[in-house]
Structure 1
């Protein structure tokens, strides 16, 4: 089935020019599809500044094929990027189809242009049909039209079956698919950068024949760059570029005749030799050898360029007031945000996500795995801690051995005390203090507990004498402890357990003696806590921070390099040329990542609350909402990284570099009150700090959204989301991602 070219197909939004009208244009006043005057494009700054386009002038007639020839680096691709609105000139004037690219109703970037870049710019995980449907969704084409185009282009370009994945195709087949993407929506202007590289000669001949038909029968303008100079003979006009300048533009026949050459390569060689000789061509004569030829496009000198441009603009405005089918000029109004373009981008993102189901499931369940690892490894009491015990009360030779009586008996109280120490401590007996301390220095034990030879007697005297006890009695009744404080957490646990053991020992001993158990304790009573428990596990303190940090950092990691690969492969550029706006790209990624975020957050809360029994005293829905907002903050920050970085390694490094500072400064692992005062101010500026405090207040205190500590986390999260997204758009604008 062939593709029906013309206005009768209502599915096609780009109206074709009919043959009769093209002929009228040829015989009437010249109508220009592209006009470039005094174009200057430079890169770099200061002494590193260099010109890629140097006062370039070019004119392309509407409904013709223009072959742009030149060596690599001469500025061809930069010029094409300016024509499709992806770059702007430093100075000069540029009109494409009667409008400046990117202006209102220009349709460029957008549906009026079909663009084939040098790169393949195709999604390898898409089938050929999915590729066409993606761009068809951007152009808001109907499925029936896309299917018919797929069938037609498959025959024209000898494509493999449409259900083949692009990544499984050969290089030549992939370039043909890229060519099909540029053709299939029937644009008014076709810009093709090296379309026949790696293509079979017979197929190349077929492609050129199709381009000729598109220009002569349907009035489409085609600009083609090629390294195969001789194949450009089929173009109506040839422009030869060198060092950012257009040396000449004329029809192939005129060029061969004027320069008395047998091939276009000879013409190009003569032009380059003359250009190197610092004897520039008289462009007034060289480019207008046959000025009466309607195909020849004149290049005027600088004193006449402004008047020429004004005349050309008037000609274009006059010609475009008559539309072939409706009598009105076609109007392609591209809004800032379009539902069909966003929908196409969202579908594309989902397809790419689900193509590799293994990686998708891994990233989906990774936060739950991280939450499990955190709960298993953090906040629990250490076990198996070896402590050296030096008990001088024991002397087998004198008959002093441990008795384990529970009566009121002041005998071998050291043994009685040791029975109350938690099993987390492994008691290792040593004969003397020096050996025990040496074991501590070698890291064999975490500390030394020692009792004097008369500990029980001195303890009894201290109990009887009370405030009248002398210093020697006090020292003799002490339990001497040396702790390895190189690990603060373990040291604190050991200290707590030894003190708790002493409290239990005193209470039980005094109870056995008929005394008030609490009388022997310090006159400090810790009553029921206001919030939490008397011995709140450290895990409960860390849980809110862990939930927020896991969700946030996963969002950053998954988004940080999200369209860097697309940008490097030309995919982002191709989408933007098709009319997609940067806000639409950011919004589509936000939506896609948010759906993954919802599932990840749900799994994290299930693991934390149901599997590991972390208590939540307040409204769980508010805690989940704040966590999701923090996920959006992470997504927004990831998009900012992706916008600002040029490669995946830079994005990965930046995202990982931000992890540790946030971990230590946001109050996740340690209270902010433990920081220096100046650093606390920095901590409260961080994206996670208020959110963590909010969730912590909900979990441990049961506070609601009416409390300032809770709603502050919500407001700050929204502020960071908008700030990061605004920075994304600013960076994209500065780096020319957005048109």
Structure 2
């Protein structure tokens, strides 16, 4: 064990001498020109508190221009995180990175952008694209000429042995898809090529061809390549090897020097030896910390005067901290191969990068500048829009579902809601009928007080089915069992008592009034059915009484309730409930379809690595948002058109106002839904959570926004919440256009438009803010 530690110390010392001899320029300017990638004191962690996990710890990395850098390490050691920081998709918690002479994300660096080619671990390919369309898509993003795109397609197809270019990516095998992903990274011939495990699933012959091509790109064209791989021995062809373990770079040297320094015949043996030495060194360091703590404690106990317990405790802690700090520096120096472990991390990073205070201030200024919005590029925006349309129309089943689902929902609504119920059973107990005569209901239509109970029942609407019962107790039992919705009871002398009441008028006594009543017991568990039955029974009595008065040559309106509902200001006397709900339903269908579709598509692209790949290629988040909004807006046009055709033509929902204004209000709400879907997608990392969140908002928004019930029926405190919802004012505006025929000059209408526009702007700004924060917080 001591011999292994000695060998490890000798190898690290040799590596330090080599580094100090080749990097002696304190200004660092020439080094920055010679280095394609320079990383100093990189620290990156995820989580907070007890869940905090360090991914990169004090990592230093130097990649020379025109070289092939092989980054080796076990899964989970931080390779992919390091590459993401280099390409500008993640930011360090502390430390510095320079790529091609500038910090990633600054306008001067061109990273992300066309100067870099990136192949992530995920395939990051559009399954509904052909191979040719995939390469053409990235060609448009990079604004490459058509002739160059065609020549590269021909060359890479031959070189990587790709299937026919008209094959869809989703029909390819895993190895073939990986080769297409590799072709995308090589396509625009970038200065810096970053490949995350490009040879996984590739046969040995093609793997050798790939490495030969990378060597030619490095030697003949001066391009820089960073490649990670699990096949350690194939990395022997790299110019420099970086061996990572637990977020640190254990060694950074040429393959031959690594094997010579560790006296091993292969890279795999050298890597294994280095890991074993590192583990032994950590054990020794931990033991040294423990021994130093015990020794310092014993010395402090011997030197500490009696009775000074507070100073004694402080002395022990101070000496222990010094011991731990000293040993930690020794371990940090051995693990990183640093030039000077006693130098602080900030000054060490500044020295190695050659960055002065003023330059550091400039870089901080660039970071702030990178957070600002940039104008979208026409060619990139065109590529994104074309891609979105192809993805939408290629899947015919999804395409039909997207366009027909709103119309189907509107149809179901009109067929099922707002119609009068039919076949409602009502129990009838008529004690006027003589049991000996078979309870036959005989009545006349002239002016005679005879069997008025039967005469009244003749006017009851056909929606009610009359079920006769012999006595009131049986009828009530049937009602309690749910066999009937109510019970109508006529007394023994109903007709005679009714005649007396009519003749005596205001002089009628209370007993007469009670006996002349039609008693009704209702099952009010269903409020809507209860309302309909009460309405029909009252209407039946009105029709019965008017007909009877007319038969007796009296004024039909005499003696009836002295309240008259004349023609309404807006709508009809019997406005169907469907017409009340139609505006709210139109907006809610369009709104929530936009929310679900936008959130699902955006999250799906991010989960598959497609979003990261496009962003590394130079596409901005603003361009992606605009591309998604344009695509979803075209879908919104089709959905809205079908919903309006279904509502207005198929089911005759009247629109008394300007139809164009109604469509415009609906479009705005669809746009609000898209923006809300994008906001959901920025918070969620997978499709399930995004769709669940979008669907979870459906019921509260529908109920609170007044779609199915007037807001005036809510408690006062809930009304304030209702009017803060994005749908409320728009629904009220559309309802005013449909039912009242109002125009944009009315406050209720233009407030719906103004508030919808305000929600669109607010949600878009929130999307951009969240995306920027999440990017720089990762």
- Say whether residues 1:439 and 2:464 are aligned partners: no
2:153 is matched with 150
In 2: Cα distance, 1:57 partner to 1:313 partner: 19
* Equivalent pair of 2:54/2:247 in contact (CA under 8 Å): yes
- Say whether residues 1:249 and 2:239 are aligned partners: no
- C-alpha spacing 1:156/1:302, structure 2 compared with 1 (3 Å): farther
2:761 is matched with 722
In 1: Cα distance, 2:245 partner to 2:720 partner: 58
Q: Secondary structure at the match of 1:626?
A: helix
Using the TM superposition, give the Cα deviation of residue 286 of structure 1 relative to its aligned residue in structure 2, in angstroms. 10
More helix by share: 2
1:524 is matched with 563
- Say whether residues 1:468 and 2:468 are aligned partners: no
* Equivalent pair of 1:334/1:579 in contact (CA under 8 Å): no
1:482 is matched with 521
TM-score, normalisation: structure 1: 0.89
1:611 is matched with 650
Using the TM superposition, give the Cα deviation of residue 396 of structure 1 relative to its aligned residue in structure 2, in angstroms. 5.1
1:362 is matched with 401
Q: Which moved more, 1:656-665 or 1:726-735?
A: 726-735
| Aligned with 1:212 (options 211, 215, 223) | 215
- Say whether residues 1:408 and 2:447 are aligned partners: yes
- C-alpha spacing 1:676/1:335, structure 2 compared with 1 (3 Å): closer
- C-alpha spacing 1:383/1:443, structure 2 compared with 1 (3 Å): same
2:90 is matched with 87
* Equivalent pair of 1:58/1:299 in contact (CA under 8 Å): no
- Say whether residues 1:228 and 2:231 are aligned partners: yes
Using the TM superposition, give the Cα deviation of residue 336 of structure 1 relative to its aligned residue in structure 2, in angstroms. 4.1
Q: Which moved more, 1:374-383 or 1:448-457?
A: 448-457
- C-alpha spacing 1:672/1:127, structure 2 compared with 1 (3 Å): same
* Equivalent pair of 1:248/1:287 in contact (CA under 8 Å): yes
In 2: Cα distance, 1:34 partner to 1:356 partner: 42
Using the TM superposition, give the Cα deviation of residue 608 of structure 1 relative to its aligned residue in structure 2, in angstroms. 0.7
2:166 is matched with 163
- C-alpha spacing 1:86/1:653, structure 2 compared with 1 (3 Å): same
| Aligned with 2:177 (options 167, 174, 193) | 174
In 2: Cα distance, 1:355 partner to 1:147 partner: 23
In 2: Cα distance, 1:723 partner to 1:616 partner: 31
Using the TM superposition, give the Cα deviation of residue 530 of structure 1 relative to its aligned residue in structure 2, in angstroms. 0.9
- Say whether residues 1:309 and 2:348 are aligned partners: no
* Equivalent pair of 1:110/1:334 in contact (CA under 8 Å): no
Using the TM superposition, give the Cα deviation of residue 104 of structure 1 relative to its aligned residue in structure 2, in angstroms. 1.2
- Say whether residues 1:342 and 2:345 are aligned partners: no
Using the TM superposition, give the Cα deviation of residue 283 of structure 1 relative to its aligned residue in structure 2, in angstroms. 9.8
In 2: Cα distance, 1:259 partner to 1:566 partner: 45
Using the TM superposition, give the Cα deviation of residue 581 of structure 1 relative to its aligned residue in structure 2, in angstroms. 1.2
- Say whether residues 1:193 and 2:236 are aligned partners: no
- Say whether residues 1:66 and 2:69 are aligned partners: yes
1:652 is matched with 691
Q: Secondary structure at the match of 2:251?
A: strand
In 2: Cα distance, 1:285 partner to 1:674 partner: 74
| Aligned with 2:531 (options 463, 488, 492) | 492
In 1: Cα distance, 2:759 partner to 2:768 partner: 14
1:40 is matched with 43
Q: How does 1:570-589 map to 2 (within 5 A)?
A: 570-589=609-628
2:718 is matched with 679
2:276 is matched with 273
Using the TM superposition, give the Cα deviation of residue 383 of structure 1 relative to its aligned residue in structure 2, in angstroms. 0.4
- C-alpha spacing 1:162/1:299, structure 2 compared with 1 (3 Å): farther
In 1: Cα distance, 2:244 partner to 2:728 partner: 58
- C-alpha spacing 1:402/1:207, structure 2 compared with 1 (3 Å): same
Q: Secondary structure at the match of 1:162?
A: coil
* Equivalent pair of 2:96/2:349 in contact (CA under 8 Å): no
1:8 is matched with none
- Say whether residues 1:53 and 2:56 are aligned partners: yes
* Equivalent pair of 1:561/1:641 in contact (CA under 8 Å): no
* Equivalent pair of 1:506/1:520 in contact (CA under 8 Å): no
* Equivalent pair of 2:249/2:336 in contact (CA under 8 Å): no
The CA RMSD over aligned residues, in Å, is 2.3
Using the TM superposition, give the Cα deviation of residue 105 of structure 1 relative to its aligned residue in structure 2, in angstroms. 2.4
Which ranges in structure 1 are unaligned for 5 or more consecutive residues?
1-27, 289-297, 317-332
In 2: Cα distance, 1:143 partner to 1:334 partner: 30
- C-alpha spacing 1:457/1:306, structure 2 compared with 1 (3 Å): closer
Q: Secondary structure at the match of 1:560?
A: helix
Using the TM superposition, give the Cα deviation of residue 299 of structure 1 relative to its aligned residue in structure 2, in angstroms. 6.1
Using the TM superposition, give the Cα deviation of residue 40 of structure 1 relative to its aligned residue in structure 2, in angstroms. 1.1
In 1: Cα distance, 2:705 partner to 2:550 partner: 48
Q: How many residues align?
A: 686
* Equivalent pair of 1:107/1:334 in contact (CA under 8 Å): no
2:604 is matched with 565
Using the TM superposition, give the Cα deviation of residue 647 of structure 1 relative to its aligned residue in structure 2, in angstroms. 1.7
* Equivalent pair of 2:191/2:223 in contact (CA under 8 Å): yes
- Say whether residues 1:98 and 2:101 are aligned partners: yes
* Equivalent pair of 1:581/1:738 in contact (CA under 8 Å): no
Using the TM superposition, give the Cα deviation of residue 257 of structure 1 relative to its aligned residue in structure 2, in angstroms. 2.0
* Equivalent pair of 2:95/2:349 in contact (CA under 8 Å): no
Q: Secondary structure at the match of 1:592?
A: helix
| Aligned with 1:422 (options 450, 461, 464) | 461
Q: Secondary structure at the match of 1:41?
A: strand
Q: Secondary structure at the match of 2:775?
A: coil
* Equivalent pair of 2:444/2:450 in contact (CA under 8 Å): no
Using the TM superposition, give the Cα deviation of residue 401 of structure 1 relative to its aligned residue in structure 2, in angstroms. 4.3
Q: How does 1:659-738 map to 2 (within 5 A)?
A: 659-736=698-775
Using the TM superposition, give the Cα deviation of residue 471 of structure 1 relative to its aligned residue in structure 2, in angstroms. 0.9
| Aligned with 1:75 (options 71, 78, 91) | 78
* Equivalent pair of 2:421/2:529 in contact (CA under 8 Å): yes
- C-alpha spacing 1:456/1:233, structure 2 compared with 1 (3 Å): same
1:22 is matched with none
1:323 is matched with none
- C-alpha spacing 1:593/1:268, structure 2 compared with 1 (3 Å): same
Using the TM superposition, give the Cα deviation of residue 734 of structure 1 relative to its aligned residue in structure 2, in angstroms. 2.4
In 2: Cα distance, 1:386 partner to 1:112 partner: 79
In 1: Cα distance, 2:151 partner to 2:350 partner: 46
1:377 is matched with 416
- Say whether residues 1:390 and 2:429 are aligned partners: yes
Q: Secondary structure at the match of 1:427?
A: strand
2:491 is matched with 452
- C-alpha spacing 1:686/1:730, structure 2 compared with 1 (3 Å): same
Q: Secondary structure at the match of 1:646?
A: coil
| Aligned with 2:241 (options 230, 235, 238) | 238
Q: Secondary structure at the match of 1:448?
A: strand
| Cα offsets for 1:218-254 (capped at 9, x unmatched) | 1111001111111111111111111111111111122
In 2: Cα distance, 1:642 partner to 1:450 partner: 62
